[in-house]
Structure 1
Amino acid sequence: MLALTRLSVAKPLAVIAIFVAVAIAGLLAYSALPINLLPSVNIPVVTIITPYPGAGPTEVERLVTQVIEDSVASISNLDVMTSTSSEGASTIALTFTDKANPDLIATTVERQVNAVVQSLPPEAQRPTVTKIDLSALPVMQLALISDTLPGTDLFNIADQTVSPEFQKVNGVSQVSLIGGQKREIQVAIDPYRLAGYGISLAQLQTGLGGDNLSAPAGTLDSGARDYNLRVNALVRRPEDLSDVVIGGTADSPIHVRDVASVTVTGQVPTGVTRVNGHTGVLLRLTQQNGANTTAIADAIKQELPALRAQLPAGAQLLVVSDTSTSIRTAIAGVQEELITAVVLTAVILLLFLHLLRVSFIVLLSIPTTLLAAFVIMGLLGFSLNELSTLGLVLSIGILVDDSIVILENILRHVAQGETPPQAAIIGRAEIGLAALAITLVDVVIFAPVGLVSGTIGSFFKEFGFTVAATTLMSLVVSFTLTPMLASKLLRSGTDLERRGGPLAAFARWWDRGFLSLEERYGRLLAWSLVHRPIVLVGAFSTLVLAAYLVGSGRVGINFFPNTDQGTFTISTTMPPGTSLGAHDAVMREIEGQLLQVPEIQHGILSASIGGASSGPFAGGTAGATNGSVSVDVGDKSLRKRGITAIAEEVRQRLAGVPGAKIQVNVSGVIQGPDSTVLNSLAGQLEESFQGIAGLRDITNSSAAALPELDINVDRARAAQAGVSAQSIGSAVRLAYSGVVATKYRQPDGQDLDVRILLAQNARTQVSNLGELPLQGTNGPIRLSQIATITDVTTPSQINRRDRHRQVTVAANLGDGVVQSQVTPAVQQAVNRLALPPGYTTLQGGSAQQQAQSFGQLGTALVISILLAYLLMAILYNSLIHPGLPLAFSGAVVATFLFRYTLNVFSMIGMILLVGLAIKNGILLVDRTNHNRARGMERSAALLEAGPARLRAILMTSLTIAASLTPTAFQLGEGADLRAPLAATVLGGVISSTALTLVVVPVVYTLLDGLTSRAARLAHLRLTGVRLSTARGSSLPLGQQVAERMWRGDATNGRAQRNGRPRDRAAVPPTTRDRGDA
């Protein structure tokens, strides 16, 4: 590396040319980097969704869920399999281990599912296999609303006019429609007239399907030409379907109109969608993997004026949510913090060095290194997101460290009379090992962050690797560009104090003050070396304080920081069996309450009940019992209240509304084979949750029962009538869920479904179920003749984990309650359950995510510490660094003072502190070892190294603190997500710097003393000679020197400064190589 420095000083134009090329490449890479809110995370999770219209949860579990679970259970690297069997749909989620290939797992799962598709009920729709992709989350959500247009027209406009234009936008992968009613032709059956004519439902279905078709019929060869034959019997108008013959005789045919009415209408509504109180259709636009979110949003907005011009009177197209807004806010906030950090760093450099040229050299290293980092980010496929940009902000304090340490040493040699080129080479060589150690420590600390397993590791991968890459580039800059610029810009004998003017006066005043600080620190260090027990007790007390803050709950522990993105969601869960109309009445009450909140009046309020109309979840239904209200109150800079205060007012307003809740934080999961036992255990756990302070909105998944009419077929009577169980099920499903018998081709080429089902008034009367006509071998019969109908209850949904049933007891956290305050009580409640053999409990909710993520990050923390210690052992023969626990204690205290919580971002901050705390120690230990190699005694070497390295240590620590201060105080927009990390590192850096300057030398003497004692004992055993301490004193010589300095011996104090020749005179030559205990 020294040869690289010599070459750079000798060939400055070559260095400039190389870094100009790097800067140009960095600018090009920066312009090409995609901009997203968060990193692209490749989650090894695959979902399998199988709609089964008309089927209850028990039937869905038995006929669909279990069949598919058995088919995919043997796939290698499968970690966890969960499933939910609900009314009309089966949903299975497969989570794979890190060993699985995330690009192939969806194909493997689909192959296994396809192998059992033939085993599923004919009425079940084909399963949809989807790999979870966080980058495919909606980039924008729009709403087409109107108070005058019917739902069918709104859906048709959204589907035929708006959606196709958005699908053309580069980067949009899918447009999903939610709400509205798709147009169809309904054949509404009168069951009494159908029975009166002796026509079965199957005959009606067959008649419609067979009389409205267009089918190829072969080829006619006339010799000269070949003609394709096609039978075209399609109806010309919807009303022509009424004339289709479905039975009777030639003289007395029975037409569709005789037993049913034919109308063009909307599908039977399974949900409701409104925006700001207006009926509408939501359009969710998702982006392609790796696409630029902001570019897509801009392209979508460019299409809006033309689309709005095409809308009929009374229709509006609104932007409900725009992910790019929060991205721009977050990135802009980080960039503001970046600029603020650079300015504060410049101020610190001027304060300590008071040379504009020196400050310019250091500041030039920042953009140079960052531009080089952009190149690496582009090569690695990273994006500009909140975490990678935060890594760049943190890098500012780190990357100037190398330049500061080197320039400070170069200036020392220039002041001693060496020419700038000589000082640049010698100063770089002298500090080379320390600079290399500092950089390598940063790399081994940050790299494990990007290598953490699981989802949390993927989430922080770009952050860790960005910082590591930036740190490596800063090392290259410090060995090349920095010494080259120093050799050209610095002047021999440059001394600002010899000049005139206000800046020179300030420089003289500052240097006098800093000289006084050095002397005071020297005396403090000397006192510490004499009173080592007191220092260690003081350091230990900081650890006790940190432990108390966490253990007492004064510093809470959460999975994720509390953020204010301006949005929250209210979910509604009504009792099973609640009709759509009843749920809608509750939803309107919620909307009315919300619109009274001032911030919501100026925001966006979208309410939905039921499932999606199109998109990846089409075909299934969330049921009329589940709904949600999404609230967007806009940018917090435009509001007087934070999102927490607004949400609390909403919670109070909705306290009396049944079924409304904002979120679920805590849950306990019980797993076992028998539903009755599970329900009993869940009831016990629910009762225990009721007694835990801090929990509210407690729910029990086993308590929800769905009303069901159970049709029990008498097999003997059915066989005698010639009716199969399958035909009974098909007839009931046709009557109440509807079946598409055929399609009607419209003049514009679009097809409309022709759906057969009972008329509305017949579907709502329980008594009509028994009168349902069936076709037997001896003629039509009624359902009640071969079956009994019983009113029973069934679970509203059945949850399973790894092919075993499970129930969940969930709760929300109370006001001001954090996760860590209730987790022990929740865990005790779960542990108190008397579980029979075969039953287990699992941790659920955000507590489960917290435990998993903290475990993974804890592993990364241990690895980082081990790697850093191994590096210290290799370079400095030291395995102990007392600054680490002191840094952690400062991090906890800072978290308490800022009123943040310990979370995954705080854990990342703890990992960063490992490197930052060790760096100061490296500077001190490296100088001490250098002094001892020159012949200085241990304590004297420490007493010289401390003041000599004080300036560099304070400068590096203050630059890191300056780069983090804007983020910790949330001076930039959208900083609440990253603020806990910044506060953790800021507090840790301050505490470790303040205490390391004193504690590290004390521990150094203790460890070195132990080594010396061991060597003496070994020598005694070999020679039998007793060693004595310095003549005339019972104290070792080093402590005599320290005590003289502590008492104010000016000669010794001044002799220990700046590494000048007087250093060696402070210690008698005969004792320079001695160690003392």
Structure 2
Amino acid sequence: MSLTRLAIQRPLTVLMVILGIVLMGGVSYTHLRIDRLPPITIPFLGVNVTYPQASAQDVEQLVTQPIENAVSGMAGVDSISSTSSEGRASVTIQFSNGTNIDAAALDVGRRVAAIRRVLPADASDPTIFKADPNSTPIMNVALSGAPLDQLYDLANTQLQPQLQSISGVASVTIQGGLQREIQVTLDYAKLAAFNITVAQLNNALTAANVTAPVGALDLGTRSVNLRSVGAFEQVDSLKRLVITQTTTGGPVMLQDVATISDGYKQVTQYQRMNGKEAVGLTIVKQSDANELKVATDVRAALDKMKAILPDGTQLQITNDNSVFTRSSLEAIQHDLIIAVILVGAVMLLFLHQWKNTAIVLFAIPTVLISTFLFMYMLGFTLNIMTLMALALMIGILVDDSIVVLENIHRHLEMGESPRDAALNGRNEIGMAAVAITLADVIVYAPIAFVSGTVGQLFQQYGLTVVIATLLSLIVSFTLTPMVSSRWLRHTDPEAGRGPMARFGRWWDGWFARLGSLVGWLIPVTVRLRWPIAIASIAVFLACGALIRFGFIGTEYAPTEDDGNIRVNMNMPSGTSLATRDDGARQLEASLGTIPEIRNVFTNVGGGGANISVELVPKNERERSAQDVAQSIRDLGRNIPGATVSAN
């Protein structure tokens, strides 16, 4: 009551407060991060180690089991699972809900580092990763049109450093290409003749290939730092490396016991873009970065890099998750605008006066923009869940204002002045408006406190609804009666001669007839209460049976058509890289027969091949991504020894 009285008697003060909140909400909107989903912490950690050329049994005994033993005693661990395959070990650690996953990652890192000396020397350093949907790769880039060694050097020396320097980019990984390697092929007969062991030769190479500081030299008033430059820069220098001295005093050089050649590292994977040899770059954003801004900055950097590429070299984005994120958010914003328009049309239909409609519509932008302020203060992001909450709230936002405005209109018809009508009208239904609002709060607030991954997914959704609902109640107690006391006047509906007045009389007449029909039906339903009750229970049970017996399916989340399909082709363990590559080429040729496919990026390695398929825009194809994926699975059955999945 006092809040409404203040708004009516001191409108400028209240208006400045509301305007200040709205302005801060508008500024907060520009600072909100944009992501596809809310931040989700999944109690899961993974440890990956590569052990080239090792069998699955050796990987399990020498890599997987030591890691499992190291992390098995950690607090909060629910289960540990592992996969040992040829050349690769993957250990999955599942923690209980509520575990601080960041602290757990540090603990896992310390435990794995403590056993690093136990792992094989030629195994890679263990890589620890968390399951974060917002830390997945946002973009894949393919570089083609030149020899693979040149493509790798270009990606390693120019593209990767520039992309990693972009704000919000966490990592840029290069895949494929030919990496330069100086190869030393030992002649064991000559080693035996000179009585040199492999360990001696290895120690000599390690000791000589070092650049280190050796001190400082004072020259008058200056002090000059000195360093010993020993790192090999040319193949000839490596050939002349002295391994040892013979018994006669002559030196034994590396070229005397080995053949030194300038070559490339062993190829363990192939990359192709639409059938052409390529080098791939995978770009991962930081978990707290704005996905759309990072993607925009990366695209701008790639456009600049295209100008400095050698002739014939092509730089192409094979997958950009931000495109689907942007389109999803724009679709929700479009639905939000449509909802506002429809609410305005419905209110004009029933209230018959544009002033009443305008007063109620004022509440929508006021509440929505003010909600952004509290979202920013709570660290929320603009994502599918929060925007869906705002779209859902459009109808709820005007409930309180409509109830208040209708009662104010009734008091005006009773002959009260606009100010008295605004104050008395709001005062009469104040508790009813509070009850309506609290009912919505009670329904949506518990959603924000559900445990587990689902609770994290819906936390921002539930709190956004609660914040907007409470703000709508405040607006109905302040802005709505304040504007009503200045704008509304008592008018005789029978005296109007305009088209809106005539439409209002016609509408009210038909609405009165509908009311009469309802009045006639109520006594009938009371007399037939038992048949109606039984029919209602039967309908309820029938609807439940649709779910119980599988007529309506259930799933964690609906399938989305983002225009990208991920294809995995697996082959039996021990299959050679050449055989896997032949199978991938057969699948690529089959994909060329599908008209909906625009680009195909292939990565052959590991146990098979991973193929990223980009489809043409949704409005340019008749089939959905799910239908195309089924066609790919059907084509995969024609490849001998391969298991093809597509999703």
On the 8 A contact 1:565/1:635 being kept in 2, the answer is no
| Residue aligning to 2:99 | 100
| Residue aligning to 1:33 | 32
**TM-score, structure 1 normalization:** 0.57
Q: What amino acid maps onto 1:392 in structure 2?
A: L
Secondary structure at the counterpart of residue 347 of structure 2: helix
Secondary structure at the counterpart of residue 514 of structure 1: helix
On the 8 A contact 1:566/1:632 being kept in 2, the answer is yes
1:327-346 equivalences in 2 (<5 Å): 327-346=325-344
- Separation of aligned partners in 2, 1:368 and 1:224: 72
1:718-729 equivalences in 2 (<5 Å): none
On the 8 A contact 2:26/2:370 being kept in 1, the answer is no
1:385-396 equivalences in 2 (<5 Å): 385-396=383-394
Deviation for aligned residue 1:245: 4.7
Secondary structure at the counterpart of residue 101 of structure 2: coil
Deviation for aligned residue 1:128: 3.0
On the 8 A contact 1:152/1:265 being kept in 2, the answer is no
Q: What amino acid maps onto 2:501 in structure 1?
A: A
| Residue aligning to 2:110 | 111
**TM-score, structure 2 normalization:** 0.93
Q: What amino acid maps onto 1:656 in structure 2?
A: N
Secondary structure at the counterpart of residue 202 of structure 2: helix
On the 8 A contact 2:448/2:462 being kept in 1, the answer is yes
On the 8 A contact 2:444/2:466 being kept in 1, the answer is yes
Aligned pair partner of 1:294 in 292, 307, 325: 292
Change (3 A) 1:190 1:559: farther
1:895-906 equivalences in 2 (<5 Å): none
Deviation for aligned residue 1:366: 0.5
Secondary structure at the counterpart of residue 24 of structure 1: helix
On the 8 A contact 2:633/2:646 being kept in 1, the answer is no
Question: Is 1:323 aligned to residue 314 of structure 2?
Answer: no
Deviation for aligned residue 1:376: 0.7
Deviation for aligned residue 1:255: 4.7
- Separation of aligned partners in 2, 1:233 and 1:371: 64
Deviation for aligned residue 1:364: 0.9
- Separation of aligned partners in 2, 1:299 and 1:39: 22
Deviation for aligned residue 1:62: 2.8
Q: What amino acid maps onto 1:31 in structure 2?
A: T
- Decide which structure has the larger Cα Rg and report it: 1
Deviations 1:420-445 (A, max 9, x none): 33332333233222221221121122
Aligned pair partner of 2:532 in 509, 531, 535: 535
On the 8 A contact 2:629/2:646 being kept in 1, the answer is no
Secondary structure at the counterpart of residue 94 of structure 1: strand
- Separation of aligned partners in 1, 2:19 and 2:212: 70
Secondary structure at the counterpart of residue 143 of structure 1: strand
Q: What amino acid maps onto 1:424 in structure 2?
A: A
Change (3 A) 1:366 1:163: same
Q: What amino acid maps onto 1:649 in structure 2?
A: S
Deviation for aligned residue 1:563: 1.6
Deviation for aligned residue 1:65: 2.6
| Residue aligning to 1:654 | 636
Aligned pair partner of 1:564 in 549, 554, 561: 561
Aligned pair partner of 1:517 in 514, 518, 528: 514
Aligned pair partner of 1:158 in 155, 158, 161: 155
Deviations 1:623-682 (A, max 9, x none): 2x2321111104312323221222222222222113242258xxxxxxxxxxxxxxxxxx
Change (3 A) 1:75 1:444: farther
| Residue aligning to 2:575 | 578
Change (3 A) 1:225 1:25: closer
| Residue aligning to 1:242 | 239
Q: What amino acid maps onto 2:28 in structure 1?
A: A
On the 8 A contact 1:9/1:483 being kept in 2, the answer is yes
| Residue aligning to 2:175 | 178
Aligned pair partner of 1:606 in 597, 601, 613: 601
Q: What amino acid maps onto 1:530 in structure 2?
A: R
- Separation of aligned partners in 2, 1:401 and 1:635: 40
Deviations 1:113-155 (A, max 9, x none): 3333344344444333333333222222211112xx3222111
Secondary structure at the counterpart of residue 637 of structure 1: helix
Q: What amino acid maps onto 1:653 in structure 2?
A: L
Question: Is 1:627 aligned to residue 617 of structure 2?
Answer: no
Q: What amino acid maps onto 2:372 in structure 1?
A: F
On the 8 A contact 1:173/1:288 being kept in 2, the answer is yes
- Separation of aligned partners in 1, 2:431 and 2:376: 31
Secondary structure at the counterpart of residue 469 of structure 1: helix
- Separation of aligned partners in 1, 2:222 and 2:30: 62
Secondary structure at the counterpart of residue 59 of structure 2: helix
| Residue aligning to 1:280 | 278
1:988-1027 equivalences in 2 (<5 Å): none
On the 8 A contact 1:36/1:383 being kept in 2, the answer is yes
Secondary structure at the counterpart of residue 498 of structure 1: coil
Q: What amino acid maps onto 1:515 in structure 2?
A: A
On the 8 A contact 1:49/1:90 being kept in 2, the answer is yes
- Separation of aligned partners in 1, 2:170 and 2:207: 38
Deviation for aligned residue 1:558: 1.9
Q: What amino acid maps onto 2:293 in structure 1?
A: A
Deviations 1:185-239 (A, max 9, x none): 1123466776787765444434433454445567789999988775545445213
- Separation of aligned partners in 1, 2:461 and 2:187: 65
Change (3 A) 1:495 1:94: farther
- Separation of aligned partners in 2, 1:490 and 1:235: 88
Change (3 A) 1:653 1:112: closer
1:753-832 equivalences in 2 (<5 Å): none
Secondary structure at the counterpart of residue 622 of structure 2: coil
Secondary structure at the counterpart of residue 575 of structure 1: coil
Q: What amino acid maps onto 2:177 in structure 1?
A: G
On the 8 A contact 2:632/2:646 being kept in 1, the answer is no
Secondary structure at the counterpart of residue 347 of structure 1: helix
Deviation for aligned residue 1:517: 1.1
- Separation of aligned partners in 2, 1:258 and 1:581: 35
- Separation of aligned partners in 2, 1:495 and 1:660: 77
Deviation for aligned residue 1:250: 6.2
- Separation of aligned partners in 1, 2:75 and 2:608: 35
- Separation of aligned partners in 1, 2:209 and 2:95: 48
Change (3 A) 1:248 1:77: same
On the 8 A contact 2:86/2:574 being kept in 1, the answer is no
Q: What amino acid maps onto 2:639 in structure 1?
A: V
Deviations 1:588-616 (A, max 9, x none): 1111111221121xx22111022xxxxxx
- Separation of aligned partners in 1, 2:175 and 2:327: 28
On the 8 A contact 1:179/1:273 being kept in 2, the answer is yes
Secondary structure at the counterpart of residue 609 of structure 2: strand
- Separation of aligned partners in 2, 1:519 and 1:190: 106
Change (3 A) 1:204 1:41: same
- Separation of aligned partners in 1, 2:502 and 2:317: 59
On the 8 A contact 1:212/1:234 being kept in 2, the answer is yes
On the 8 A contact 2:194/2:246 being kept in 1, the answer is no
Q: What amino acid maps onto 1:343 in structure 2?
A: I
On the 8 A contact 2:274/2:599 being kept in 1, the answer is yes
Aligned length: 645
In angstroms, what is the RMSD of aligned CA positions? Answer: 2.6
- Separation of aligned partners in 2, 1:340 and 1:224: 78
On the 8 A contact 1:402/1:435 being kept in 2, the answer is yes
- Separation of aligned partners in 1, 2:102 and 2:286: 15
- Separation of aligned partners in 1, 2:177 and 2:403: 66
- Separation of aligned partners in 2, 1:227 and 1:300: 43
Uncovered stretches (5+) of structure 2, i.e. residues with no partner: none
Deviations 1:25-54 (A, max 9, x none): 111111111222222223333222333344
| Residue aligning to 2:260 | 262
Deviations 1:972-1013 (A, max 9, x none): xxxxxxxxxxxxxxxxxxxxxxxxxxxxxxxxxxxxxxxxxx
Secondary structure at the counterpart of residue 99 of structure 1: coil
| Residue aligning to 1:444 | 442
| Residue aligning to 1:990 | none
- Separation of aligned partners in 1, 2:349 and 2:174: 60
